[in-house]
Structure 1
Amino acid sequence: MQKKNFLPILALAVGHLVTDLQAGALPIVLPHLKELFTLSYSQLAAIVLTQNITSSVIQPVFGYITDKRSMPVLLPFCAAMAGAGFAAIGWVSSYTLILLTVIIIGIASATYHPQASKTVNFLSDENSKAKNMGIFSLGGNAGMAVGSILMTFLIGLQDGIHNTMYFILPGLLVFGLMMKYMPDYKRVNAEHSLKKAAVQIKAASEKLSYTGMFILLFFIFMRSTIHTGLSTYLPLFFMKFRGSEAIFASALVSAFLLGGVAGTYTGAVLSDRLGARRIILGSIILSIPTIWLISHAGTEIGAMLAVVASGFFIIGSFATTIVLAQTMLPDNVGMAAGLTIGFSVGMGGFGVTILGFIADNFGLPLVMQIVTWLPVAAAIIALKIPIPASLRK
């Protein structure tokens, strides 16, 4: 990567952080919304599902649109819009309005991710794509962790859930930062459009079958169900079945997401050195014992360590799978980003909805047992993912 491109990429990562603050903060406000509006577990799961559909499942549509016509100028507006949407969630007066604010946040996120991800790809050279995607992905996972920590702090202040209004400030600040590098974003997107024909010829040998892409997306769906399921139900499980205080239960979510931040960047850097196969398979296998320890640890410290390790390993292949999909679809890198960051991750929301139904009818302990075994199935799927020659080591 040319040094002059590092700061523009870093700005996109910061924008990713701000856009994803809301995703980390939402699990923290869910228990309070449940009490305030007397919601069932299924209604809570429906909120998560709405967020995932609007922010993730429809991302490939926006990715396809940006592949046809790049729109980097929308990036700063998306970050600001996401913050404004979450700022309102603490002030709504009905369940319907909660869903409406979640939809606003989701549309902003769905627009940001494909365009930003493809711009990172265009700013990177062949030997730094995974690393740079790791920096970008780290921004998103850090945003989820920071959002969780920030909301935990804010909800403990005098105005409680009304303090969501402060989430509008980061969006306004990052707006100016991203506008500073807008000439770079417009330049690389324009250059890519001019070189697209040459890239198609060069990359044709890297294209894989639709079956290979389906296997990759199914693996990401499984990984997302595990990740979103834990971040959604950990606080409720520890408060109801382990007798933990609300502040410790919220801290578990923050620790889980912070572990994911470290795992995202570590996995991305190692992917350039060890190859995609080892990172994808290794990370999911190593998550199996750590997830088991979450519900079996005898102390709060043990549970906290297990949560951090689980977050680290589960999401360690995040950047690797994005680059892998973009290599499989070299002519549609925006749509590839939408499929990996968005659609298959968002489909995890359907998995969480099923887990919510199980929790309502059979209890949260069974949900924790199911989440413990899901990485085993995901590891078997990972063995079948085809890896292009350029990503093997």
Structure 2
Amino acid sequence: MQTKTNTAANHAPLAQNGTMFTILIAVSMVHLLNDTIQAVVPAIFPIVKDSLSLTYTQLGLIAFALNLTASILQPAIGMYSDKKPQPYLLPLGVVATLLGVLGLALATGFWSMLGSVVLVGIGSSVFHPETAKVAYLAAGARRGLAQGIFQVGGNAGQALAPIMTALIFVPLGQAGILWFTILAAIAIAIQMYTARWYSGRLRSGTVKKRSSQAAGVPVAGRRKIAAAISILVLLLTSKMAYLAGMTSFYSFYIIDRFQLSVQEAQWCVFAFLAAGATGTFFGGPLADMWGRRNVIWFSIIGALPFAFLLPYMNFTTSVVFCVIIGFTIMSSGSVNIVYAQELLPGNIGTVSGLFFGLAFGAGGLGAAALGALADTTSIAYVIKLCAFLPLIGLLTIFLPSDRKLRQWAEEAEQNQIAR
């Protein structure tokens, strides 16, 4: 029998709308710290390319190693956590990240850099699926808003990468990475708090084992769900490949084209990423009001014309276009995951791990492929090629409407009751 001595975190009452904002802000803060540390990798590319004598191909492979690690591990961890939730994996994952940060600061060549980013990737693999599950649990009825709050932390962390290059890595060099051990320590402390709250929910029975809802879905319905998931995967893949091109190589393009310094180029990339973080935050609540698929459509149609024109604009217009593209294309960042979670409501950890893993994998493959292409052609060619990637988003036309999603959920529930 539970006593009143249990921690407040374990038994904190839900808000009237069922949304636990304290927990959502906590996981968003850790997402910010985690992705800020992860963003160190592409942020130091302009520095270590010369200091460690790396090629564009090697830079792409370093980004690929980081993303591949997360891509492979996250779905597996998500599936495991659906069957057996592990709250205290949350702080342990950040410990791996901390070790990776130390390795990055002390790396002396390509292989030591590669090993360090694998550790950072392991930390992210543990963090994303289980913490996304916490965000889903704390969401109540406002899932779009909750996922937006959770993901805006990550996008904000990624947006800090160019600022870190301009203000930290240019003056301090690779050794400046040591400062990020402080961020890792803060993240560990917050994750301990989150893990206690999550553990309390497990003990109180709020978190249920993997649902058997899929068993109530007719075979034809399962095929439609599988098709919708496949389309979401393609949308995410194209988006992350585009983002990989922009975050890893766009600074090199504008340095060469407009004769900018590294610091000046990084401010342009920051504008792109900061706008993306803003779009992620607003996309969630907009999807709650206007529908998931409508916001996904907006993210594609709104970004396409500006993505096509970006390589041909002058510097000032390029900055404006980067802001527009970043906001629109990332406005569906949280919506894609909420959409997939509602397609497979009993498999939140699996879905979160799959989609976050795919995001990392697509980004890593994109960075590796685009880096190799840049070595054989030119940076300008790569940036112009990236403009075509968002076209894959037109597959949104085949996604079921929000009303159809609700209809499928009701049919599945009725079929379960009938059985």
- Contact 1:28 1:152 survives alignment (8 Å): no
Change (3 A) 1:390 1:6: farther
**Distance (Å, rounded) in 2 between the aligned partners of 1:310 and 1:87:** 34
Match of residue 246 from structure 2: 230
User: Does residue 15 of the first structure (1) align with residue 30 of the second (2)?
Assistant: yes
User: Does residue 339 of the first structure (1) align with residue 375 of the second (2)?
Assistant: no
**Distance (Å, rounded) in 2 between the aligned partners of 1:369 and 1:392:** 40
Amino acid at match of 1:241: R
TM-score (norm 1): 0.92
Query: CA offset at residue 202 of structure 1?
Result: 10
- Contact 1:285 1:375 survives alignment (8 Å): no
Query: CA offset at residue 318 of structure 1?
Result: 0.8
**Distance (Å, rounded) in 1 between the aligned partners of 2:187 and 2:363:** 29
Match of residue 249 from structure 1: 265
2:43 aligned residue (19, 23, 28): 28
Match of residue 278 from structure 2: 262
**Distance (Å, rounded) in 1 between the aligned partners of 2:293 and 2:56:** 37
1:160 aligned residue (151, 160, 173): 173
TM-score (norm 2): 0.86
Structure 2 portions without partners, runs of 5+:
1-13, 408-419
Residues 342-375 of structure 1, C-alpha deviation per residue, up to 9 Å, x if partnerless?
2244223212322222211121111111111221
- Contact 2:47 2:169 survives alignment (8 Å): no
Residues 226-271 of structure 1, C-alpha deviation per residue, up to 9 Å, x if partnerless?
1111111111111123311111111122221101110001111110
1:108 aligned residue (123, 130, 133): 123
**Distance (Å, rounded) in 2 between the aligned partners of 1:129 and 1:202:** 24
Give the alignment's Cα RMSD to 1 decimal: 2.3
Match of residue 107 from structure 2: 92
Change (3 A) 1:163 1:215: same
**Distance (Å, rounded) in 1 between the aligned partners of 2:341 and 2:305:** 31
- Contact 1:324 1:387 survives alignment (8 Å): no
1:174 aligned residue (187, 192, 199): 187
**Distance (Å, rounded) in 2 between the aligned partners of 1:201 and 1:374:** 33
Match of residue 344 from structure 2: 329
**Distance (Å, rounded) in 1 between the aligned partners of 2:406 and 2:268:** 36
Amino acid at match of 2:372: F
Match of residue 412 from structure 2: none
Query: CA offset at residue 387 of structure 1?
Result: 4.2
State the SS of the aligned residue for 1:383.
Answer: helix
2:299 aligned residue (283, 289, 299): 283
Match of residue 317 from structure 1: 332
Amino acid at match of 2:191: M
Match of residue 272 from structure 1: 288
Query: CA offset at residue 56 of structure 1?
Result: 2.9
Query: CA offset at residue 103 of structure 1?
Result: 0.1
**Percent identity of paired positions between Structure 1 and Structure 2:** 26
- Contact 1:137 1:319 survives alignment (8 Å): yes
Change (3 A) 1:130 1:391: farther
Query: CA offset at residue 163 of structure 1?
Result: 0.6
**Distance (Å, rounded) in 2 between the aligned partners of 1:335 and 1:272:** 23
Query: CA offset at residue 168 of structure 1?
Result: 0.6
Change (3 A) 1:392 1:239: farther
- Contact 1:46 1:353 survives alignment (8 Å): yes
Residues 261-284 of structure 1, C-alpha deviation per residue, up to 9 Å, x if partnerless?
100011111100111111111111
State the SS of the aligned residue for 2:54.
Answer: coil
Change (3 A) 1:293 1:189: farther
Equivalent residues, number:
388
User: Does residue 53 of the first structure (1) align with residue 68 of the second (2)?
Assistant: yes
**Distance (Å, rounded) in 2 between the aligned partners of 1:209 and 1:105:** 33
**Distance (Å, rounded) in 1 between the aligned partners of 2:27 and 2:202:** 14
**Distance (Å, rounded) in 2 between the aligned partners of 1:57 and 1:301:** 40
Please tell me whether Structure 1 or Structure 2 has the larger radius of gyration of its CA atoms: 2
